[in-house]
């Protein structure tokens, strides 16, 4: 007595595999399979549908249920439109069609491939199946490469291709590859950056946001009706965490720069996500409106590099945390607290000395140190302001007259050297034609002269470019100068000012400190040139 055929239809569709044709729709697959089953009088026990699942991965919910039902002896025949519906992974399909299904006594029918595993006499059909599987695998690989190529092209152009916009932005309704500011969320981003600029530690920023019951980025997206799940989610979804704050503060996309391609799948078969080296990221500036100005973002990045530890009872990082260095050993100076007559006092001393190393304490009061640094900032910025004004008022002379004169002298000397070696090459050729040197000697010496000429010409080009830059220099357009001068009249030193202006503060002893500014060399050059210009016009 023949076994009862307990058949099922299996249907799969995936845009990722390139299954875009109408003929591949779930509806059309079902019509084809049901029509075949009716014509052949098969008993259709069940149907299994995986809509939106890749054929390269067999971890699909309905396929898993199908295999469970096969093991439970509920199904002994699978009918598909074609073999690509069952899967596109050549190795896995080979195992399935050649080993797994036959060993379980399961019949496989692929209508469009004219394949029926029970028809052992159809040798051509049996042979063609491995090639069909290989073609389906290769097709999937080709589609994957084309899709990746298209996405990479969009990334290079700064087009946003993510499913969800970065917190603080939404997709433009008129162009989903463009981001526009979400005023509500952007206000929270600005708030976070401002707290950091005011010296708040990450932990205290978290505390303040939670105290104000501000929704986290994950919860905010859900409030807005988005079906959003983050791979970074941890802990309670309604509570801010230090890692969330850190990611926001480090994300350069808030400056208007589109950054994509940080992570990617290993390949079209392996869906595991791996990190990509920063040199391979796609970064395009000015693709969307900035929430955070670039100069503020740079200051915050410098803050994040500094020592930002705070004591439990302090919200703000101390104003010079991470800046103070020992002049003798070069190590950080540690901030400590002492109590005297019921009052609290702060001081710095050398970390090497504190740990028993070979250095002295270099102890200095924080109050005195901050006062000295504040005075140094006022003095240096006053010199910078006066120098910038002198240079700006130089109507008939370029910015760096002395520097230009030196470059002119160098260029003149280099051009003279070029003429000398050109003449030597001519004379060298004459010496060879007259038999004074051999051809091999000529070649060696001539090559040496050519190398020297190439170096000289490259140097002349570089000096001419530097000269052009100096002639067209406009100090009013130098961004760091404008940023520095904003703090010229400060009364009290704040954390954001220290970060914006200072590189380090070197302590020799209580009476001697050195304040090292960011852009120190450029500042010194501007002051020097302005002084020379005043001397020349005196």
* Domain 169-305 in CATH 3.90.1750.20: yes
CB proximity list for 271: less than 8 A, separation 6 or greater = 54, 57, 265
CB proximity list for 1: less than 8 A, separation 6 or greater = none
pTM of the predicted protein model = 0.55
CB 181 within 8 A of CB 291: yes
Q: How many CB atoms lie within 10 A of CB 14?
A: 22
CB proximity list for 33: less than 8 A, separation 6 or greater = 9, 11, 79, 80, 81, 111
What CATH homologous superfamily does 6-150 map to? Answer: Resolvase, N-terminal catalytic domain (3.40.50.1390)
Q: Alpha helix locations (H) across 345-491?
A: 351-354, 366-392, 401-433, 439-471, 479-485
CB 112 within 8 A of CB 158: no
Burial 502-526 (b: 16+ CB within 10 A, else e): bebbbbeeeeebebebbbeeebeeb
Task: Find how far residue 43's CA is from the centre of its chain.
Answer: 57
Nearest to 66 by CA among 35, 94, 87: 87
Residue 317 and residue 303: Cα distance in Å, rounded? 10
Residue 31 and residue 37: Cα distance in Å, rounded? 10
Boundaries of every domain in the chain = 6-150, 169-305, 401-532
Q: Per residue of the chain (538 residues), what is the pLDDT tens digit?
A: 467 889 999 999 886 655 655 556 888 899 999 999 999 889 899 999 999 888 888 889 999 999 999 999 999 999 999 888 898 887 788 888 888 998 999 999 998 888 888 877 665 555 566 656 666 566 566 666 666 677 778 888 888 888 889 999 999 999 988 999 999 999 999 999 999 888 888 888 999 999 999 999 999 988 888 765 554 444 455 789 999 999 999 999 999 999 988 877 665 455 567 788 888 888 899 999 999 998 889 888 888 887 555 555 566 778 898 889 999 998 888 888 888 888 888 999 898 888 888 898 889 999 999 999 999 999 999 988 888 887 777 654 555 565 677 788 889 999 999 999 999 989 988 988 888 889 898 999 999 999 999 999 999 998 888 777 666 556 666 778 888 888 888 888 988 888 889 989 999 988 899 999 988 888 888 888 777 767 766 5
Residue 72 and residue 371: Cα distance in Å, rounded? 82
85 CB-contact burial (10 Å; exposed 0-12 / middle 13-18 / buried 19+): buried
Residue 526 and residue 388: Cα distance in Å, rounded? 7
């Amino acid at each position: 007595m023949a076994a009862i055929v307990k058949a099922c239809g299996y249907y799969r569709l995936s845009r990722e595999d390139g299954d875009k044709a109408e003929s591949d729709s779930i509806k059309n697959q079902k019509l084809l399979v049901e029509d075949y089953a009716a014509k052949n009088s098969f008993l259709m026990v069940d149907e299994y549908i995986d809509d939106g699942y890749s054929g390269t991965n067999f971890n699909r919910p309905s396929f898993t249920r199908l295999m469970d039902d096969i093991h439970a002896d509920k199904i002994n025949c699978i009918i598909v439109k074609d073999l690509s519906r069952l899967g596109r992974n050549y190795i896995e399909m080979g195992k399935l069609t050649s080993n797994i299904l036959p060993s379980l006594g399961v019949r496989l029918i692929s209508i469009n491939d004219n394949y029926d595993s029970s028809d052992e006499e159809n040798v051509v059909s049996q042979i063609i199946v491995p090639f069909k599987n290989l073609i389906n695998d290769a097709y999937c690989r080709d589609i994957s490469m084309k899709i990746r190529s298209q996405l990479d092209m969009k990334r290079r152009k700064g087009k946003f291709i993510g499913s969800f916009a970065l917190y603080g932005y939404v997709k433009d309704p008129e162009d989903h590859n463009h981001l526009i500011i979400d005023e509500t969320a952007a206000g929270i981003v600005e708030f976070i950056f401002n707290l950091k600029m005011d010296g708040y530690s990450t932990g205290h920023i978290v505390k303040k946001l939670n105290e104000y019951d501000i929704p986290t980025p994950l919860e905010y997206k859900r409030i807005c009706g988005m079906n959003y799940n983050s791979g970074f989610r941890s802990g309670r979804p309604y509570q801010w965490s230090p890692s969330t704050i850190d990611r926001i503060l480090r994300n350069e996309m808030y400056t208007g720069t589109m950054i994509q391609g940080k992570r990617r799948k290993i390949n079209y078969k392996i869906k595991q996500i791996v990190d990509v080296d920063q040199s391979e990221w796609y970064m395009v500036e000015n693709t969307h409106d900035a929430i955070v100005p670039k100069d503020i973002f740079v200051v915050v990045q410098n803050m994040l590099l500094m020592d930002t530890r705070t004591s439990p009872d302090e919200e703000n990082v101390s104003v010079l945390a991470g800046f103070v260095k020992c002049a003798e050993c070069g190590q950080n100076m540690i901030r400590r607290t002492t109590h005297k007559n019921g009052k609290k006092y702060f001081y710095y001393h050398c970390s090497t000395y504190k740990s028993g190393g070979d250095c002295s304490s270099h102890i200095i009061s924080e109050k005195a140190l901050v006062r000295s640094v504040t005075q140094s900032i006022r003095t240096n910025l006053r010199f910078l302001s006066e120098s910038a004004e002198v240079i700006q008022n130089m109507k008939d002379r370029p910015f760096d007259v002395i520097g230009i004169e030196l470059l002119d002298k160098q260029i003149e000397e280099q051009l003279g050297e070029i003429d000398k070696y050109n003449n030597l090459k001519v004379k060298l050729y004459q010496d060879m034609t007259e038999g004074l040197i051999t051809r091999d000697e000529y070649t060696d010496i001539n090559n040496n002269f050519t190398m020297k000429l190439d170096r000289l010409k490259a140097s002349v080009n570089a000096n001419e470019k530097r000269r052009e830059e100096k002639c067209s220099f406009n100090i009013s357009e130098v961004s760091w100068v404008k940023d520095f001068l904003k703090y010229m009249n400060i009364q009290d030193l704040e954390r954001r000012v220290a970060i914006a202006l200072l590189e380090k503060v070197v302590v020799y002893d209580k009476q001697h400190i050195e304040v090292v500014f960011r852009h120190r060399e450029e500042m010194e050059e501007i002051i020097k040139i302005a002084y020379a210009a005043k001397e020349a016009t005196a």
